[in-house]
A and B are shown apart, each in its own frame.
Chain A
């Protein structure tokens, strides 16, 4: 069964550093997303991406964040100058017309 894959599974970074979280969506999907889940809290929408551009973003997705689809397969989330409160599980998702599938997540720990 096709799946969304994310790397790394766990990333530890120092406050102020930049991180890039990587995702390989399901190959024939056209809609891509990033969500995050702070420990013990809701899954929150960050950004959606379609046709090589951002289609919607939340208040959380400020100038510190950016997304890119650098080639035909990868979809990345870059967080510049990480803060302690960026520590969370970050999920990538991709969707066809109906079903949205999520990756296993990257646990980001900012120290």
Chain B
């Protein structure tokens, strides 16, 4: 079945860039998403990319998609302490989203 994998933890210094990686298995995914979850909160849609695109930039966020390798990444420029959260990638399989395990990003001063 479909599977989405992420590394569990990432720790960065404030002001540096963060890169969160994700791999997926379903080559027929149409859209891929990044969500942010702060402690005790819901899932906040950060950005998404259509599968025929390689890159999408949205302010501090850059999404890169390598469809051949089924690899998705989220780069956060100038990472701030407020960016500390769990980041989930998700692929859209037909109608539903399949989520990764989530990457806990910790930003230290």
Interface residues of A (CB under 8 A from B): 31, 33, 35, 42-45, 48, 50, 55-56, 91, 93, 98-105
- How far in angstroms is the closest Cβ of chain B from A5? 10
Minimal beta-carbon separation of A9 from chain B (angstroms): 10
Shortest 3 CB-CB contacts between residues of A and residues of B: A104-B42, A102-B43, A43-B99
Cβ of B101 within 8 Å of any chain A Cβ, yes or no, is yes
Of B33, B48, B96, B97, most A-chain CB atoms within 10 Å: B96
Q: Contacts A31-B95, A42-B100, A43-B99: A99 and B48 contacting too (C-beta < 8 A)?
A: yes
Known A-B contacts A42-B101, A102-B35; the reply to A48 vs B42 at CB < 8 A is no
Other A-B contacts than A42-B99, A43-B88, A98-B50, 18 sampled, CB-CB below 8 A, are A31-B95, A33-B96, A33-B97, A35-B99, A42-B100, A43-B99, A48-B95, A48-B96, A56-B95, A56-B96, A93-B97, A100-B33, A100-B45, A102-B35, A102-B44, A102-B45, A103-B42, A105-B42
Asked if A55 meets B95 with Cβ closer than 8 Å, knowing A98-B31, A98-B48, A100-B33, the reply is yes
Tell me the bound Cα distance from A106 to B31 in angstroms. 26
Name the prevailing secondary structure of the A interface residues.
strand
Please provide the chain B residues from 31 to 65 with a CB less than 8 Å away from any CB of chain A in the complex.
31, 33, 35, 41-45, 48, 50
Q: How far apart are the CA atoms of A33 and B33 in the complex, in Å? A: 16
Min distance, Cβ A93 to any Cβ of chain B, angstroms: 8
Cβ of B97: which chain A residues have Cβ within 8 Å of it? 33, 35, 45, 93, 100
Cβ of A44 to closest chain B Cβ, rounded Å: 8
**A43–B43 alpha-carbon span in the complex (Å):** 10
**Which A residues are CB-close (under 8 A) to B44?**
102
Whole-angstrom distance between the Cβ of A81 and the nearest chain B Cβ: 25
Task: Output the nearest chain B residue to A48 by Cβ-Cβ distance.
Answer: B95
> What residues of A have a CB within 8 angstroms of the CB of B98 in the complex?
45
